Amino acid sequence: MKPKDECGVAAVYALKNGKPDLDRDMSSYIPLMLQDMQNRGELSAGITTFDPKRPHILRNYKALGQVKEAFSIDAHNAKEIEHVMSGCAAIGHVRYATCGKDDVNYAQPFERVHGRLFKWFSFCFNGNIANHNELTKMLVENKGYHISLDSDTEIFMHFLSREIAICEEQHKEIDYKHIFNKLAQQLDGAYTIAFIDARGKLIVARDPHGFKPLSYAITEDAVYLASESVAIWNRGIGNIKTLEPGCMIQVDETGVKVDRYIESEKTSHCFFEWIYFSNVASTIDDRNVYEARARAGEILARSEDQEIDENTIVVSVPDTAKACGDAMGFALGAKVVEGLFRNRYVGRTFIKSNNRSAIVQQKFTPLPSVLKGKKVLLVEDSLVRGTTLRHIIKDMKERGEVGEIHLRIACPPILSPCFYGIDMSTLNELFARTHIDIDETNSNLPKEVLDAMAHELGANSLRYLSIDDVPEALDLPKEDLCTACVNSDYPTEQGKKLIKVAREKAKSGDTGRTY
C-alpha cells in the first residue's frame, strides 16, 4: 500500500495595476489547479471564494471524492457550486487524511464565520502539526475550549483565531506577519497555509523548516500559488518561484508583498516529495522531480549486481517509478518494457474489497507475452508496508509467468514513522523495520536481511537506494533534507519525542497510532 500525503493547497487573486481587481472572476482556476495536484489527496476537495459585492462575502464549498467528483455539476449541487464559484480571489484544497475521518466535516477549507470582517476567515493547509495533542490539551484544560473534530486543522483554526484576537487587542490592528510569527513559535510540524479573510486579505505561508513545497507566480493581472509548480505551469504561467521557508505572501488593497515572518534556522525539505509524492512535472525548491527520479535510477544502475543479458528486462511499477526505471534500464543497457499496466479507470471508491489480491488484479495487469520466462528487474519508487508489492510480485509470477523478479527500490528502507504529514505513524506497520531491531537506525541493511525481505515478498533479490545517495539524486545537500523516516533523525523537538513513544509502543505490542 502506497503512503499518502496530507494534502495540497492552491490560491489565486486577480490584479489590476498591481492591486486587487474586485471585478474579475478567478475562482474557475482553483478546480483546475487542484486537479493537477490530485496526486496529493483523493479524499475530498474544497474551495473558498471572496467577493465583497455579495452579502456572503466568503463562500465555502467542499465535498468528498476526487476533484472531478467534488466539483461536478449535477442536479444536486449545481446551484450550490454556482453560488460559490465566483470571486476575485479564492483558495482551494485536496485532502488525504493522516488523522481525522472520511467525513465531509474534515474536508478543507475550514471557515470561521464572524460578524467582524477581520475575524471572519477561511483557511486550508498541507502538512501535520506534530504537537497537536499537546495544543489540544492546553485549549481544553486551560482555555475552556470544546474540540469537535479529531483534526489538527481545527486546533490550528483556534490558535489562529486566538492570535488574531490578541493582536487586535494589543496592537489595535491586525499584523499577519506578527501573527504567523507567534504561531510558528507554538506549532511543531509541517505546514503550508492558504488563508483569506472577509476583508480580502490573502495570506499564503510556508513553515520555517520548509517541509512541504510551495510555488508562486506574480503576473501583471494575477497571483497564483500552489503546493506544486505544475498547477501554475499548466495555466500557461511562467516565471514560477519557490516561496522560501519562513516566508509569506500577502495580497490586500495595497498590493502584493513577499515577506519573511520568521527566520529559518534549518531547512528540512521532505525528500519523499521528489521520490514519490509530487507530480513528475513539478519543480520543488528549484529541483525538478523528473530529473531527481531519473538520477535515482542511474544511481541504482551503478550498484546492480545481476548479469544483464538479452533475457533481462526492466519493468516499472506504474506510474511514479517510470522515470527511475527508464533511466536505470538505459544506464544498464537493458530492454525497458511496460509489462505491468495500471488500470487508470478504477477509482478510489470502486475498490472496496478486503481481498488485497483482488484489488491488485483490478488495478494492475501483468502482460504474459512480455514477461513470460524473463528475468525482470522490477523498479518501484518506495517500499513502505509491502502489502501491494507482495501481491504484485505474486500476480506477475502466476499470471505473467515471469522467470525471476529482482526488486529495486528507488528509496532507502523506511524504518521510522513520519510525524510531518505522511500516513505512516507506527513502527510495526513498516516492512523493513520488522526485519531489524526496533532501535536500529542504520538503513544500509546487510545482505542477509535483504535476502530475507526478498524471500518474504516473493522476489529473487531486493536492493534499495542508499541513504548516502539521496542528496546526489535530489541535487540537494543532506543537511537541507528531512530523512527522518529512514534514519530517525527528526528535525523538530516533537519529532524526537514521538519517536521515543513509537518505540515504546512497538516494544509493548501496541499497534495504535503514535499520536
Catalytic residues: 7
Give the strand pairing for 375-380 and 404-409. Answer: parallel
Contacts by 113-117 with C-beta closer than 8 Å and gap 24+? 114/198, 117/57, 117/197, 117/198, 117/199
Distances (CA, A) of 92 to 54, 204, 434, 471: 20, 12, 39, 32
Helices 152-171 and 176-186: crossing angle in degrees, nearest 10, is 130
Q: Compute how many other C-beta atoms are within 10 angstroms of the C-beta atom of residue 448.
A: 9
Distance between CA 105 and CA 63 in Å, rounded? 9
What H or E segment, with its residue span, contains residue 135?
helix 132-143
Residue position matching grid coordinates 511543531:
188
CA-CA distance, 29 to 10, in Å (whole number)? 9
CB 411 within 8 A of CB 381: yes
408 Cβ contact list (under 8 Å, min separation 6): 300, 304, 328, 377, 378, 379, 380, 462, 463
Strand 269-270 and strand 481-482: the pairing is: parallel
Residue 214 · residue 225 · CB < 8 Å: yes
